[in-house]
Structure 1
Amino acid sequence: MRLILVVTGLLYCCLFLGHSAEFKIGRLKYSGGGDWYASPTAIPNWLKWLRQDLGMQTASDEILVDLQSDLLYQVHILFATGHGNISFSPEEARNLRRYLLAGGFLFVNDSYGMDSYFRRSIKTVFPDKTLEPVSSEHPIYRVRYNLPGLPKIHEHDGEPAQGFALYHEGRMLVFYVYSSDIGDGLEDVGVHPNPLSLREKAFQMISNLTYFRLHPEVLF
């Protein structure tokens, strides 16, 4: 299984990312009327942090991606966030499924109010799969920074932070964070009233997620 995950990652890089060595993050411009554009400074800060913390060569800004664009295959991580409705047309669902099965990765951040819509919509992409809770012992929380689980950045209604995932043949395709709002913690200082200690946890979590996405073999 470990060999399969390594080979899948290498094939993805070769087939879809071309010769560019820059790490790229795409912001998903989804349908449904939700605010896909929320947390506008999160991705630039995420990329800047990766350059500082992991010494990575990255793009300087996000790439805006819709599910009918060839740009989909130019990003290492596809990021979706918002506070409301998210939906996929049948064609968009097929395209997202192909991207993920070909080696892509979707990180979904519920900024509050997205949960029921996302759960419904991801079922149109993978009707045969169910979002599974991600244990606090999972490597995605420990691969670089040893976190006790998913950090809770924004209180919202006080529910505990929860991570969920979809898998295919042992590889994580989708990582969904609920009642955590990592995106808030990545934004510029002053945008949200988060203490620096919580911002630090958000950036540590995003390092873990990025490293795990690039090294899925750490599962074994």
Structure 2
Amino acid sequence: MASPVLPRTSSRWICGLLAAGLLALAAGVAEAQWGGGWRRWRGGPPRFPSEVATDRSFAFARVMFQSVRRERGGYGWSTDYPDADYNFMIRLSELTKTSVSFGKYREPNHVVVRLTDPEIFDYPFIFMSDVGTAFFSDDEAVGLRRYLEQGGFLWVDDFWGPAAWDTWRGEIRKALPSSQYPIVDLPLSHPIFRGMFDMEGYPQIPSIQHWRQVGGSTTSERGRLSEQPHFRGIADEHGRLMVLMTHNTDVADGWEREGEDTEYFLAYSIDAYSIGINVLMYAMTH
């Protein structure tokens, strides 16, 4: 089993806070606190901005896109949806002082947006999963570029191996050409690793299905083709990171599956929430 990437002092602190919620979930207390918990939300329909009464507080926005190929274990734009979005917002509200948008019954106001939607500009942080299957139309590429150049932040996650990387690189280049926006590997000195939590390495988080299938013996979902996790980025002309690409890792599964297995939670959800909160804090302050 992989040990947390966080230093011992930081990991002990976040582990205690998160474990309290996990134990409550196991005991059934979270049924009242979380409106039924993650089980209630799995496989739910997309919630578009027109259907959600959001305010100026943070709302998790996931991008809907067309898939033109299939990756093992992936479901296109809806991979890890909606539980990852739902759980991340709850943990963000518990672990930080960030104002998080909740509905009438304390359910998180997460939304799904398209790159061509004018409402996308209401959400300074957007997220995509399984982008190794994505295809952008000309209008979507223009919309994404406009969103990013006007200060938006995109995080793409959960795509494994060289084929998925090549597919994604081809699509993001429609919006951000290499001549103007190079892709770089992010050093551990970058602020996303030195925010609220100090990270000592690049966490490779497998899906819980893979972890169970291999008995925790490896975190690489594509064998030798995905042994090394990559944290890559694209910055604007001022050096602001505007696209984060977490390749050969599934950070969002650490959010989505936190309540399913205590061992998985301790091995991966702690790192998943730590890097997630760091990234969001960066995105909202730069």
TM-score scaled by structure 2?
0.65
Shift of 1:191: 7.8
Contact 1:25/1:76, CA 8 A, preserved across alignment? no
Q: Does 1:116 align with 2:166?
A: yes
Report which stretch shifted further, 153-162 or 39-48: 153-162
- In the other structure, the counterpart of 2:25 is none
2:88 alignment partner, SS class: helix
Classify 1:192/1:96 alpha carbon distance in 2 versus 1 (closer, same or farther; 3 Å). farther
Structure 1: stretches of 5+ with no match in the other structure? 1-18
CA distance 1:95–1:212, shift in 2 (3 Å)? same
Counterpart of 1:141?
Answer: 193
CA contact (8 A) 1:33 1:84 kept: no
CA shift in 2, pair 1:56/1:91, >3 Å:
same
Change (3 A) 1:108 1:191: farther
Once residues 25 and 44 of structure 1 are traced to their aligned partners in structure 2, the CA distance between those partners, rounded to angstroms, is: 8
Partner of 1:32 in structure 2? 67
- Where 1:108 maps in the other structure, the secondary structure is strand
Larger Rg: 2
Identical pairs, percent: 24
TM-score, scaled to structure 1: 0.83
Task: Say yes or no: does 1:152 pair with 2:204.
Answer: yes
The corresponding residue for 2:279 is 209
What residue number does 2:99 align with?
Answer: 57
Match of 1:107 among 155, 177, 187: 155
Amino acid paired to 1:117: T
TM-superposed CA distance for 1:36, in Å, is: 0.5
- Match of 1:3? none
> Gaps (5+ residues) in structure 2?
1-53, 70-75, 102-107, 207-218
| Residue identity in the other structure for 1:185 | G
Q: Alignment partner of 1:23: what SS?
A: coil
| More divergent stretch after superposition (55-64 vs 171-180) | 55-64
Residues 43/103 of structure 1: CA separation in 2 closer, same or farther (3 Å cut): same
* Deviation by residue 1:90-126 (Cα, 9 ceiling, x = unmatched): 1110110000000000000024363221111011101
**SS of aligned partner of 1:194:** helix
Q: Distance in 2 between matches of 1:31 and 1:195?
A: 31
- Distance in 2 separating the partners of 1:48 and 1:173: 24
Q: Does residue 1:85 correspond to 2:153, yes or no?
A: no
Alignment RMSD (CA, Å)? 2.0
Partners of 2:61 and 2:254 lie apart in 1 by 18
- Aligned letter for 1:39? D
